[in-house]
Amino acid sequence: MNGYLIQTLRTRDALRFTSMFGGVLVPALRVGTSYALPIVALLIAGRLELAPFAALGAFTSLYCRVDPYGRRAWLLPVVAIGLTASVAAGAVASAAGAGGVTKVVVLTLVATLAKLLADVLRVGPPGGLMFVFAAGAAAYSPQSWSGVASAVGIAAASAAVSYAISMLGGILHPTGPHRLNTARALLAVADHLETPGAGARSRAHTAVHHALSALPTGERRTTTRLRAHLAHADHLLHHPADAAPELRATATKMRRGRVPAARLDRPAPRPVAAGRARIAEFRTNAVRMAVASLVTGLLASTFQLDHAYWAVVSVSSVLQSHNTATTWQRALQRSAGTIAGSLLALRIFAANPSPAMILVVIVLCQIAAELVVMSNYGLGLTFATPLALCLATLGHPTEPVHLVAERVGMTLFGALLGVVVCLVLSNDRARTRLREAVETCRTATLELQRSPADPAVRDRLVAAVFALRDAHRVAAGEPLRPHQGDQEVLDTEHDAYLELSATSAPARSTRPG
């Protein structure tokens, strides 16, 4: 058990920086605009006290960074409604004069429901975190009943503005997200061709099918060309060739807005829809969130601090993960990023900025955080921390050193407690799910051997491979004695890929040029 625990709590992955290919600058500027517009409007209207609530609604723009506009159209309203409801819950608790225990219960409910929502809908970063931050900021901000409607209304209006800005690109460049997802898929396949391995192959396979599934139906020229490039990339996954330089060159052209015609006309694989999520798969993580948020909040409230909710936000942040290992990594990143960001905040406060300058700092810090957060979460926190501290000073000014100390203390406390709860509440469902996924994948492989020409059987094997990979990703990060070793999982996946390669379709024709 000690060996598995040491492997789970290793620090190497927390220090890793991920290189992002496109999809960074535009989302960051979009987020900055979403923050700036409502805040500037409030500044002009002389209602600066409502600026924090405008920022809470603007959290909507943090989601669906590079998702296709079809997905944004239905998911962002869900996020906007959730954020507005979180602000309302916190504002009502504050106006009702609720004590620390009641506020903690409210935050716990918001954290647990937000975690379930983010997991079931596969919301993606930042998951359910911002809902907790919104509820906590509203709950711990002095509020009267007459001011609840204003706070909630401003948050809702800001969320609506963020939604509109996030959808604006659908008019200007409707295929932008599809081009970027396809380009990233081509690069993932190129990485696999240059450095073959189980991990690189899995990432490439996932990227190709993610990009393919996101493509709209229809035969528009751009869509047809993207589908052809993905078909070629999928073929190279099963029949490797010296095509990495060509894939990289094509990906670069796509990022710049061009979609060249594909040289080979191959039958595109049918996109395999992700399996419907079952609540049982996320039950342990939801229980962990509920217990950790409640315990952290109750302990933090005993200190009678003005921002005790920061501890709950911290524990919620590290638990926006799928297993104990990633929780530990996020705890390290959040702790290091918060300390670095607090030092930066002290330098900002030392300049004694005016409220208007604080608003400028908030917007700039949010843009900076978005530019780097996908590379490393801790680096993003270096800029997100001054933002949170500046928002806190807008609500009710506090002595900077005391505010920073409170932020660091609550963050470290919450991050540590989140890891402890993960270690205490083991995810026994993870190993059961992995065992089932291995057997399902083996069965699907045998079925394809017996019926190599049946596309439905092939689709079931592709779905089984994805399910196996996801189940192993979760189980591998839990400090449990595994019932199946990594090698058995890799062998099962390898056999599945061999069968997929043997039954993949050849090219139909070759185009000139």
Q: Which residues contact 417 (CB under 8 A, 6 or more apart)?
A: 292, 295, 296, 299, 311, 315
CA distance 41 to 490: 56
Whether residue 140 lies inside any domain: the answer is yes
Where among 410, 425, 440 does a domain terminate?
425
Q: Is the pLDDT of residue 79 over 80?
A: yes
pLDDT for the residue numbered 389: 92
pLDDT for the residue numbered 114: 96
Q: What is the pTM of this model?
A: 0.90
Q: Which residues contact 418 (CB under 8 A, 6 or more apart)?
A: 292, 296, 314, 315, 318, 319, 327, 331
Cα 479 to Cα 140, 189, 285, 434: the distances in Å are 36, 32, 15, 14
The residue behind tokens 């647990």 is 112
422-481 pLDDT per residue, tens: 999 988 888 888 999 999 999 999 999 999 888 889 889 999 999 999 899 888 888 865
359-376 pLDDT per residue, tens: 899 999 999 999 999 889
CA distance 84 to 161: 13
Mean pLDDT value across residues 34-56: 91
Range 404-437 burial, b when 16+ CB lie within 10 A, else e: bebbbbbbbbbbbbbbebbeeeebebbbebbeeb
CA distance 226 to 206: 16
CA distance 200 to 184: 13
Q: Percent of the chain scored above 90 by pLDDT?
A: 57
The H or E element that residue 266 is part of is none
Whether residue 269 lies inside any domain: the answer is no
Whether residue 511 lies inside any domain: the answer is no
| Residues 324, 440 within the same domain | no
Cα 310 to Cα 59, 62, 463: the distances in Å are 17, 19, 40
CB-facing half-sphere around the CA of 143: CA atoms within 13 A: 29
Tokens representing residue 448 in the block: 């394809």
| Residues 71, 96 within the same domain | yes
| Residues 42, 153 within the same domain | yes
CB 395 within 8 A of CB 310: no
CA angle 317, 394, 94 (to 5 degrees): 70
Q: Is the pLDDT of residue 277 over 70?
A: no
Computed on alpha carbons and rounded to an integer, the radius of gyration of the chain in Å comes to 24
**What are the backbone angles phi and psi of residue 389, rounded to the nearest 5°?**
-70, -35
| Residues 343, 473 within the same domain | no
The residue behind tokens 């469902």 is 429
Q: Coil, strand or helix: which one is 381?
A: helix
Mean pLDDT value across residues 22-36: 91
CB atoms within 10 A of CB 117: 16
CA angle 415, 8, 338 (to 5 degrees): 25
Nearest to 225 by CA among 269, 260, 178, 271: 260
Q: What is the band of 482 on the pLDDT scale with cuts at 50, 70, 90?
A: low
| Residues 79, 213 within the same domain | no
| Residues 361, 287 within the same domain | yes
CA distance 284 to 280: 8
Q: What is the band of 293 on the pLDDT scale with cuts at 50, 70, 90?
A: very high
Q: What is the band of 115 on the pLDDT scale with cuts at 50, 70, 90?
A: very high
The distance of Cα 365 from the centroid of its chain, to the nearest Å, equals 19
Q: What is the band of 507 on the pLDDT scale with cuts at 50, 70, 90?
A: very low
1-25 pLDDT per residue, tens: 455 566 666 777 767 877 778 788 9
Q: What is the band of 182 on the pLDDT scale with cuts at 50, 70, 90?
A: very high
What is the crossing angle of helices 25-45 and 145-172, to 10°?
A: 140
Q: Coil, strand or helix: which one is 347?
A: helix
| Residues 496, 464 within the same domain | yes
Mean pLDDT value across residues 192-220: 88
| Residues 163, 181 within the same domain | no
Nearest to 318 by CA among 340, 297, 280, 292: 292
| Residues 294, 374 within the same domain | yes
Q: What is the band of 33 on the pLDDT scale with cuts at 50, 70, 90?
A: very high
Q: Which one is predicted more confidently, 271 or 26? A: 26
Q: Which one is predicted more confidently, 508 or 37? A: 37
* Tally of structural domains, the chain: 3
Q: Which domain holds residue 285?
A: 22-173+281-425
Q: What is the band of 292 on the pLDDT scale with cuts at 50, 70, 90?
A: very high
Whether residue 103 lies inside any domain: the answer is yes
CA distance 35 to 55: 6
Whether residue 380 lies inside any domain: the answer is yes
CA distance 207 to 187: 9
Whether residue 30 lies inside any domain: the answer is yes
The distance of Cα 236 from the centroid of its chain, to the nearest Å, equals 29
pLDDT for the residue numbered 337: 95
| Residues 190, 322 within the same domain | no
CB-facing half-sphere around the CA of 114: CA atoms within 13 A: 34
Q: Which one is predicted more confidently, 279 or 172? A: 172
Q: What is the band of 512 on the pLDDT scale with cuts at 50, 70, 90?
A: very low
Mean pLDDT value across residues 249-274: 82
Mean pLDDT of the chain: 88
CB 111 within 8 A of CB 290: yes
| Residues 440, 315 within the same domain | no
CB 378 within 8 A of CB 336: yes
| Residues 400, 416 within the same domain | yes
CB atoms within 10 A of CB 36: 19
Q: Coil, strand or helix: which one is 25?
A: helix
Whether residue 2 lies inside any domain: the answer is no
CB 342 within 8 A of CB 408: yes
The residue behind tokens 């396979």 is 205
pLDDT for the residue numbered 395: 61
CA distance 158 to 165: 11
Whether residue 10 lies inside any domain: the answer is no
Pairing of strands 509-510, 264-265: antiparallel
**What are the backbone angles phi and psi of residue 58, rounded to the nearest 5°?**
-70, -10
pLDDT for the residue numbered 257: 84
Mean pLDDT value across residues 244-269: 86
Of the ranges 48-52, 57-61, 201-205, which is most confident? 57-61
CA distance 474 to 152: 37
